[in-house]
Amino acid sequence: MVELWSFGFVFLAGLITALATGLGAVPFFFVSDVSDRWNVALWGIASGIMLSASVFGLVLEALGEYVHVALGGVSIDPIPQRELLLLGAGLFAGILLVYVAHDLIEAAEVDPRQYEEADFKKLVLILGVLTVHSFPEGVAVGVSFADLGLQGGTQLFGLVVPLLAIFMTIAISIHNIPEGVAISIPLRSMGVANWKLVWWSVFSSLPQPIGAVLAFYFVRAAREFLPAGFGFAAGAMIFLVLTEFIPEALAVGRSLPGDGRRELAAGVAAGFLAMVPLLFV
């Protein structure tokens, strides 16, 4: 049985990632607009962090007892077919979730401009769309806490917390900042107050702590399917980067020299390198 305090701890981590989205609205307290150059770079950093955390964190963690990484190189023991099948099934399921979610979001045609003027029914629709959009990030956080309170990890507030969970919480939090910027830009053009920009940005990520708790419960209750859980989170995040983050960055960068590809590449490289320490955890 999973202890109640574990759920509270994981929910708090998911809430931190949601609150980080509000940081995307903070620049508007000081400037009237965020340059396209910085916006593209932020999307690039978020993309690099998500890709690096997915590969070096989640996928390697799924195969942790068979893959050994050290400064001298990487060695791989024979991996049982069952582990590979679970990882592959998880990757496919994560990709499928994001694909379906993307279709639902496009069909609903929810725009941040609708937040401020939404009535109750519209808010329910918006929250539903945000749930399928934010859920994969919450799942990634929840899965990374699979070994919370167990052997290994580091002491934090008197608890044994997996280093992967710390990295993943930081990674998702950083990823949420450019999302907050993207949400704030159209609201700012409507003259929405700064503090409301923060609220609506956080609101867009509120499903993440829920997704984190549900994923955590799954991987703790059915630990034999842990590779599938890691694969699910990795597949969802990698597909999100390829189908949403990078296209969004390229769309924003159309007015820049080279369509912003230089800023995007620099951001991806910086985000990717920032998460390399996961290899040696």
Cβ–Cβ < 8 Å for 215, 143: yes
Token representation of residue 76: 């791989």
Q: Is there a contact between 69 and 279 (Cβ–Cβ < 8 Å)? A: yes
Residue 224's DSSP bridge partners are: none
pTM of the model: 0.77
Mean pLDDT (10-residue bins), the chain, 281 residues: 78 94 89 82 87 82 68 68 89 87 66 64 61 78 84 72 86 85 78 86 88 89 83 88 86 87 92 72 55
CB contact at 8 A, 128 and 111: no
- What confidence tens digit (pLDDT) does each residue in 152-207 have? 667 777 778 888 888 889 888 988 888 888 788 777 877 788 898 898 889 888 88
User: Where on the phi/psi map is residue 82: left (φ > 0), alpha (ψ -120 to 50), or beta?
Assistant: alpha
The secondary structure element, H or E, covering residue 226 is helix 226-240
pLDDT tens by residue, 124-156: 655 566 666 677 888 889 988 888 877 666 777
